[in-house]
């Protein structure tokens, strides 16, 4: 049986201690220059088990550099992936995955050719990371990019799988915004 909070099992909310909780958000990429899009709001602390995205529309996506995910507390950011990914010219079906340490580039798999990705033995293809909300401040996982397109016009479907960190009545959460 899972963790009991206020007389209810977290399993009643779709929580599974092994697989965690899956949240999904579609985001619009637009504008010119450096851009950031809030995807998920972090409440308390969570263990981020996986973070991935797929291009679902690519009307104008000729230039997108400095592609990365970060944790933003309204004042400062912590890169969850290195800020040097490139989506320039990529099409629908391009897959992005945080598959390494926070100091590494997001893995980008272009569907123009077959691609495969594996992780270290026994770990899988995702690298886990803890994320904690700044006290009293909305804290977000964001998608960031820079573009010279005027304007860029694309959509990404982003998914995160997480486990809430539970300490007494404090339960972490990750919600789409």
User: Domain for residue 123, yes or no?
Assistant: yes
The answer to the question of residue 51 being in a domain is yes
Residue-number span of the structural domain to which 146 is assigned: 22-168
Instruction: Flag whether 11 is in a domain.
Output: no
- The DSSP secondary structure of 101-152, one letter per residue, reads -TTSBPEEE-TTS------STTT-S---EEEEPPTTS-EEEEEEEEE-STT-
Mean pLDDT of 71-79: 97
pLDDT single digits (tens) 114-153? 888 776 544 556 788 999 999 999 999 999 999 999 999 9
Q: Residues with Cβ < 8 Å from 116, sequence gap 6 or more? A: none
Q: Is residue 113 part of a domain?
A: yes
Does residue 14 lie in a domain region?
no
Best-predicted range by mean pLDDT among 7-16, 17-26, 68-77, 116-125?
68-77
**20-29 pLDDT, tens digit each:** 899 999 999 9
Least confident of 6-10, 48-52, 110-114: 6-10
User: The domain spanning residue 57 has which CATH number?
Assistant: 2.60.120
Cβ–Cβ < 8 Å for 108, 90 = yes
Q: What is the pTM of this model?
A: 0.86
CA angle 28/84/21 to nearest 5° reads: 55
CA 116 to CA 169: how far, in whole Å? 41
Instruction: Give the model's confidence band at 170: pLDDT under 50 very low, under 70 low, under 90 confident, else very high.
Output: confident
Q: What is the pLDDT of residue 17?
A: 60
With 50 as the cut, is the pLDDT of residue 4 above it?
A: no
Q: What is the pLDDT of residues 58-69, one digit of tens each?
A: 999 999 999 999
pLDDT band, very low/low/confident/very high, at 78 (cuts 50, 70, 90):
very high
Average the pLDDT over 100-127 and give the result.
Answer: 78
Whether 173 is covered by a domain: the verdict is no
The number of folded domains in the chain is: 1
- Report the percentage of the chain scoring pLDDT > 70: 86
Q: Given this model, what pLDDT does residue 153 score?
A: 96
Average pLDDT over every residue of 95-115: 89
């Amino acid at each position: 049986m899972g963790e009991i909070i206020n007389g209810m099992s977290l399993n009643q909310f779709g929580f599974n201690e092994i697989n965690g909780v899956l949240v999904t958000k579609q985001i619009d990429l637009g504008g010119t220059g450096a851009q950031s899009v809030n995807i998920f709001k972090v409440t308390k602390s969570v263990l981020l088990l996986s973070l991935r995205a797929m291009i679902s529309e690519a009307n104008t996506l000729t230039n997108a550099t400095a592609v990365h995910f970060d944790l933003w507390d309204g004042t400062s950011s912590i890169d969850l992936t290195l800020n040097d990914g490139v989506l320039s010219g990529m099409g629908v079906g391009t897959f992005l995955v945080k598959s390494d340490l926070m100091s590494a580039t997001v893995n980008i798999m272009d569907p123009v050719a077959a691609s495969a990705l594996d992780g270290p033995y026994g770990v899988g293809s995702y690298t886990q990371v803890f994320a904690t909300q700044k006290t009293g401040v909305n804290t977000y996982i964001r998608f960031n990019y820079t573009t010279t397109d005027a304007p860029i016009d694309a959509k990404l479907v982003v998914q995160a799988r997480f486990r809430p960190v539970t300490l007494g009545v404090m339960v972490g959460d990750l919600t789409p915004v």
